Amino acid sequence: MPTVVAYGTEKQAYFDLFMESCHRFGIEPVILGWGEKWAGSGEKLMAICNYVKELPADEIIISVDPFDVIFLSGTREIEAKFRRMRIPFLCGALKLTSFNARVYDHEFNRTPWATPQNPTGYNYLNAGTWISTAGYATRLLKGLLDAGQLAPDDIDQEILTAIYVEERNMVDIDWKCEIFYNLLFRNFITRKPDLSDLRFDHGRIRNGATGSVPSVLHASGNVFIKEVALLLGYESSLTVPEDDMRCYIKKAGFHAGKVVKYAIIQRGRLAWA
């Protein structure tokens, strides 16, 4: 059976909803980092590497964020889909507007090359969900560590995006949304989910743009997912995010600060050119 790993230091957002979705499909997630001080998403990758290196090399590893993920199927379905794809390391994919795509590239694509384009429009890597085998994940992450390319305060999305853009045979994205679907909000104020590509049917979702039936829903960027959770048959008591505003402000501040910092660095480079 595949192993589900989730890194989180404290309870927040939709953790209870995540756990209930796991219970619904008989999944017992391995929670890493609980009770520790948050150091960064680089630390998350390091902790996952240390855990999965002890597992059988061929065992499937499903890495998810435990605060904004809902499982839509059991792990056997996920494993069957992944093995058919013959991709060694698969991340979730984002479909972004032209403005958000420019922001994403500005923030996460540190390579000199453009982000690859896919037929479905789901072109951008999201590191909140990924799947691999324990052996490949260990080699990939340990290789980054040994090369000095992974530190605790590094950003996993930036690291994996660089590999995806430069070496797509090593890391790819689920641009058909067969396993992972990343739900975004319509605007920064209401944070209501953008459901334009989704159809709901008996506890599952269908992506109308790709025709796929995803197995994992990831509500990226502090999307309010009450409407989605109710349509999937969950109790309303599970749809109230815990400590929501603090988490949202913290995440929004992080991204804004990162963009500003990068802009300052770029301006400095141009001044010296």
pTM above threshold 0.85:
yes
CA gap 191, 186 in Å, rounded: 6
Model pLDDT, residue 268: 47
Digit-coded pLDDT (tens) for 216-244: 999 987 899 999 999 999 999 999 998 65
Mean of the pLDDT values across residues 147-153?
Answer: 93
CATH number of residue 10's parent domain: 3.90.550
What is the DSSP pairing of strand 69-71 with strand 30-32?
unpaired
pLDDT band at 270 (very low <50, low <70, confident <90, very high): very low
CA 81 to chain CA centroid, nearest Å: 18
- List the single range of 100-104, 185-189, 201-205 with lowest mean pLDDT: 185-189
What is the pLDDT at residue 246?
Answer: 58
Cβ-in-10-Å burial (0-12, 13-18, 19+) of 49 comes to buried
Domain of 252 in residue numbering reads as 3-272
The percent of residues in the chain predicted with pLDDT above 90, rounded, is 82
What count of residues does the chain have? 273
Mean local confidence (pLDDT), 62-78: 98
Residue of 72, 74, 76 lying closest to 204 (CA atoms) = 72
**Dihedral angle sign, alpha carbons of residues 176, 224, 32, 4:** negative
d(CA 222, CA 214): 20
Q: How confident is the model at residue 264 (pLDDT cuts 50, 70, 90)?
A: low
Residue 91 phi/psi, 5° resolution?
A: -105, 160
Amino acid at 37: K
Q: Report the domain count for the chain.
A: 1
